[in-house]
Structure 1
């Protein structure tokens, strides 16, 4: 199964891309920074990298040059950037990119470009099993152990507590959103159900409003806990809660007050 590394600092877009690529049969891993990408590349081999240029800790072109120095032509690199100038494209090509896409490209166009490139790349050696980064709060060497994936949604005090025990304060609408996801026990909660529930609590209940809520919630969890948000995008359908979650109290209407 081809392995793809998505290097993108926008958490929402990164999640959308990795979930979509996984659904298409690839093994997709995300990284938000140059340093994170290099650490991931040290831990595992990848067939292809989908690369943003504007990263918070460096230029994607510098990462591209390092990939070429380490891997030669064995690893394909497609740039996905908001920069659409001719000079930007030329610099990427000179640094060794195999393709250049603008961020308004559809997911189908992105996947088609990656698929065509993978068909042209030289055969790769079997991939070594990637090393998983250790959760510093885990009590066993395997950070995937069940007890490290349990989130807690406190409905009375409106908080989401991470598996490491760090609470994140929620707005009323964020609580409604997470309560619906938790009730699905990992299944997809459709867009229309989420927007309908959010409409009852005021504010923007459009599709765009839902996406904004998700993006802000993901950023809040990442900023306050250093842990990736459990909210996953299911492209074209809705959202789901990744991992196990306990809701307290376990039944009754969500006690959402003013947001």
Structure 2
């Protein structure tokens, strides 16, 4: 799951980002409304945490603009001061899914993000292909009923492929979904990730495999299908 945190207070934004990364999210950060809108245009996020008091524009404007972004509306939790009743009401009326009061309790924020995700169209529904089953919330993977333990990034890769299967997932899209903008990504990072995941699926006896479409990307297909070798 990919998260955008928008807050002009650097230490708080960094604290929230570090916590959510430890919880398994890929996190991008923005300190202004303009940066947030640019990020929403460039990437698809599963949720956004939005401070209502930004230096260059009102949080309401960001909420309104997110609905018109090319990637579509993003579930949003607004951050607001305890005494800012009007701000809370305005945020909810503008389409926010929930709010958290400042000073922020990171555990509460995490719980509210997960609750919003469960209610959204990106909710935690088990994904399955062939004898492979994956539960996004827990990253629990089973093949023919046996658990397959995967590191975080490999599990995220599997989720992206499962959500699109059997359609092709463009390599650049995978890179965008699996890595934050601030992370340095080597040229062969995605290839290496696919290679490791492919070997593990094969060793575990999965009835699906990852096909490579040269120069474009990857797709998850049933073993009986015609395939392209990398």
- Provide the TM-score with structure 1 as the length reference: 0.47
Bigger Cα Rg: 1
Structure 1 residue 44, shift from structure 2 partner = 0.9
Asked if structure 2 preserves the Cα contact closer than 8 Å seen for 1:7 and 1:33, the reply is yes
CA deviations 1:17-59 (Å, max 9, x no partner) are: 0100000011111100011111111221001000001111111
* CA distance in structure 1 between the aligned counterparts of 2:180 and 2:50, rounded to whole angstroms: 21
Asked if structure 2 preserves the Cα contact closer than 8 Å seen for 1:68 and 1:96, the reply is no
- The equivalent position to 2:176 in structure 1, one of 130, 133, 139, is 130
Asked if structure 2 preserves the Cα contact closer than 8 Å seen for 1:49 and 1:75, the reply is yes
- C-alpha spacing 1:31/1:134, structure 2 compared with 1 (3 Å): closer
* CA distance in structure 1 between the aligned counterparts of 2:69 and 2:176, rounded to whole angstroms: 17
1:144 aligned to 2:190?
no
- C-alpha spacing 1:117/1:95, structure 2 compared with 1 (3 Å): same
Q: Give the structure 1 partner of residue 37 of structure 2.
A: 38
Q: Give the structure 1 partner of residue 97 of structure 2.
A: 98
Q: Give the structure 2 partner of residue 70 of structure 1.
A: 69
Q: For 1:1-259, what aligned pairs fall within 5 Å after superposition? A: 2-70=1-69, 74-82=73-81, 84-123=83-122, 128=173, 129-130=175-176, 144=184
Higher relative contact order (CA 8 A, sep 6+): 1
* CA distance in structure 2 between the aligned counterparts of 1:90 and 1:145, rounded to whole angstroms: 41
Structure 1 residue 133, shift from structure 2 partner = 11
* CA distance in structure 2 between the aligned counterparts of 1:37 and 1:130, rounded to whole angstroms: 16
- C-alpha spacing 1:71/1:120, structure 2 compared with 1 (3 Å): farther
* CA distance in structure 1 between the aligned counterparts of 2:47 and 2:180, rounded to whole angstroms: 21
- C-alpha spacing 1:110/1:71, structure 2 compared with 1 (3 Å): farther
- C-alpha spacing 1:130/1:86, structure 2 compared with 1 (3 Å): same
CA deviations 1:180-237 (Å, max 9, x no partner) are: xxxxxxxxxxxxxxxxxxxxxxxxxxxxxxxxxxxxxxxxxxxxxxxxxxxxxxxxxx
* CA distance in structure 2 between the aligned counterparts of 1:32 and 1:102, rounded to whole angstroms: 19
What count of residue pairs does the alignment treat as equivalent? 138
- Provide the TM-score with structure 2 as the length reference: 0.53
* CA distance in structure 2 between the aligned counterparts of 1:134 and 1:65, rounded to whole angstroms: 24
- C-alpha spacing 1:88/1:37, structure 2 compared with 1 (3 Å): same
Structure 1 residue 112, shift from structure 2 partner = 0.4
* CA distance in structure 2 between the aligned counterparts of 1:66 and 1:145, rounded to whole angstroms: 30
Unaligned residue ranges in structure 2 (runs of 5+): 124-162, 187-230
Asked if structure 2 preserves the Cα contact closer than 8 Å seen for 1:74 and 1:121, the reply is no
Unaligned residue ranges in structure 1 (runs of 5+): 136-142, 147-259
Structure 1 residue 85, shift from structure 2 partner = 2.7
Aligned alpha-carbon RMSD (Å): 3.0
- C-alpha spacing 1:53/1:17, structure 2 compared with 1 (3 Å): same
- C-alpha spacing 1:93/1:23, structure 2 compared with 1 (3 Å): same
